Amino acid sequence: MKKIIKFGLMATVLAAFAFAGCKNDDEIINNDDDSQYKIDSVNREIERVGKGFPDGVFDNISPADKSTSVNVFDKPQVFFNVPINTTIEVDDSRNGLYGIYRVSIAEFTIVKADGTKVDGDYTLSDDNLTCVFNIKEPYENGASYKVDVKVRFEKEVAIKYYTVKDERYGYEYLTSDRAWQIIKDNDGNEYIKEITTEFTAGNRPLSFNPKHILYSYPADRQRNFLPKETNLAYMIFDFDYSYLLNEYKAKGYEQKIRITPFGGETTTLDFTYTTATNGCGGGEIDYSFAGIHFNNNVIYHLAIVNIAKDSSHIDASVPYEIYAIDFRTSSYNTFPEKMGNISYSESGFALQVTGTVYQLIWNFEDLSEVVESFDLCDYNYDQQTNCLLRLNLDYDNCQWYKEKIAPLIYENEDVLSIAGNYTPPTTNVYTIGAADDYLLSDEEVETGVFAKHKGTGAFACNASKYINIDFRELTDILINAKERNKGAEMLIRTDNLPNMINGSYPMKIEYTLPGKNIVTSKYVCDLKLND
């Protein structure tokens, strides 16, 4: 990540932490480009400003040092006072401090007491102030661990100077190729700051934690499970739970999936578990509903269970269910069947967001005998990657896009030759709202009775909003470009995004299995805008 931050006087403080800490105030640290920074002046600047980073680059680390009974799923985290991998421009020439710096992670390791390294990798938060080590499997029962985090400091330096002529204005200017240079101390070693912590883990649980399930189908408390949409069923975890299905598996027991309709008979299914082989680790349970008959409008209980092979030797200490969910089958069998029974207004209306940017709205209603619309498993605006519905404007069949937008932006080769690749937005283009946009309640699960709700709502097309973001961004790029062409001039001279016109704005809906990105069916709503 690259970001320039100008601090003025505070930038002096920010540069200081790279050199303060292990040297005396009257010592001088030389980096490889012979720049000198006096520690005493740095400390005086910190004292004069009265804030900054007098404690160094690190803020804190977790788990806390000498902690015991640490949750076996707790990922080590280190918190920083300064953003990592972020360029920092220091401009305080009167104090002899100028340059572009960054702090980067040199090492982030977890080691068991016997010296074995824990497998995993680390990721930074969006603000680059927190770094998390993603362990791939839970800590071992009662084991001791040590976490060690080291950071290095770098300065951007010129490695080659040369003269460039500006073709547009005809003058020449001096520029350079630049590279990052690691800052070293007087002994020629990398200037490293370090933080460590040691802790002892607790015990691994004997059941799955729902918080560690990234994706599942069916999902817990799903209201509209479509029985004939697909036979695929699964759970995807962010931790490797193979211990629970292998070495922690109770002797004399086998593990199965059992599915039971409310008040009905249980069906037993086999499943497979696979450990993730890439990324941050994890695992996946897969099973199939092939051959299973689901009744519509029924609430089902599904559980992973321990079943004694010999019923005469049941161990009371072995939990029966190690994970369980409840879901309701829809009144429809497939997604196209459901959409075919939803009535929506073909002619929508436009709400002005700003200028020539509009949100288009179409109302819909489920007119079936058993009213249902969409739940949070179908669509959740805040967690779209975990939803079943992918909604997008069908650009190929949208008159406004083909006539007004594509030639100006996304198919304007002159513009793209300067700005790089731009494609029409495919996320947040549509939103969906409904009266029953929630999940099964505890009362519904306990009684087996599904409460009827008014199945009305609205489709909302936000394509104009997100296309306008690209339009403004491209305009800024082209204005600052050294060279322009005919297509670029055409876009620059367009003050606002082309207004929406009467015509077709078809919505393409893909029923997609979350976490797998498998599209099981598609449906297109032929929505229109007429003044």
The DSSP H or E segment spanning 339 is helix 335-340
Query: DSSP 3-state assignment of 519?
Result: strand
Length of the chain: 531
Q: Which pLDDT band, with edges at 50, 70 and 90, does 90 fall under?
A: low
DSSP 358: E
- 210-329 belongs to which CATH class? mainly beta
CATH value of 5-201 in 2.40.30.160, 3.40.50.300, 3.30.750.24, 2.60.40.3780: 2.60.40.3780
> What is the tens place of the pLDDT at every residue in 423-462?
999 877 888 876 556 889 999 999 998 877 767 888 899 9
Strands 342-344 and 518-525: unpaired
What separation in angstroms does the CA of 128 have from each of 82, 83, 87, 152, 470?
8, 5, 11, 15, 26
Of residues 387, 107, 123, the one with CA closest to residue 281: 123
Q: How high is the pLDDT of residue 302? A: 98
What separation in angstroms does the CA of 492 have from each of 37, 404, 409, 415?
46, 15, 11, 10
The yes-or-no verdict on residue 168 having pLDDT over 70 is: no
Task: Judge whether 5-201 and 210-329 match in fold.
Answer: yes
Cβ pair 151, 157 in contact under 8 A = no
Query: DSSP 3-state assignment of 432?
Result: strand
The yes-or-no verdict on residue 83 having pLDDT over 50 is: yes
> What is the tens place of the pLDDT at every residue in 383-395?
888 899 999 999 9
Cβ pair 419, 478 in contact under 8 A = yes
Of residues 463, 472, 462, 464, the one with CA closest to residue 495: 472
The set of residues, in sequence order, having a beta carbon less than 8 Å from that of 181 and lying 6+ positions away, is 31, 32, 33, 154, 155, 156, 157
> What is the tens place of the pLDDT at every residue in 188-203?
788 888 999 999 999 9
pLDDT mean across residues, the chain = 84
Q: What percent of the chain has pLDDT over 90?
A: 57
Question: What residue spans define the domains of the chain?
Answer: 5-201, 210-329, 335-529
Instruction: Give the pLDDT mean for 98-103.
Output: 77
Instruction: Give the pLDDT mean for 13-27.
Output: 35
| Burial (CB count within 10 angstroms: exposed 0-12, middle 13-18, buried 19+), residue 324 | middle
Give the DSSP per-residue string, 436-452.
Answer: T-S---HHHHHH--PPP
Cβ-defined contacts of 246-250 (< 8 Å, 24+): 248/204, 248/206, 249/306, 250/306, 250/315, 250/318
Structure tokens at 202: 């607790």
The set of residues, in sequence order, having a beta carbon less than 8 Å from that of 253 and lying 6+ positions away, is 306, 307, 308, 309, 315, 318
Q: How high is the pLDDT of residue 242? A: 93
In whole angstroms, what is the distance from residue 249 CA to residue 265 CA? 26
Q: How high is the pLDDT of residue 471? A: 96
Q: How high is the pLDDT of residue 374? A: 87
Structure tokens at 64: 């806390």
Which of 37-41, 191-195, 477-481, 519-523 comes out lowest in average pLDDT? 37-41
Q: How high is the pLDDT of residue 204? A: 95
Measured N-to-C along each axis, helices 9-16 and 39-49 cross at an angle, to the nearest 10 degrees, of 130
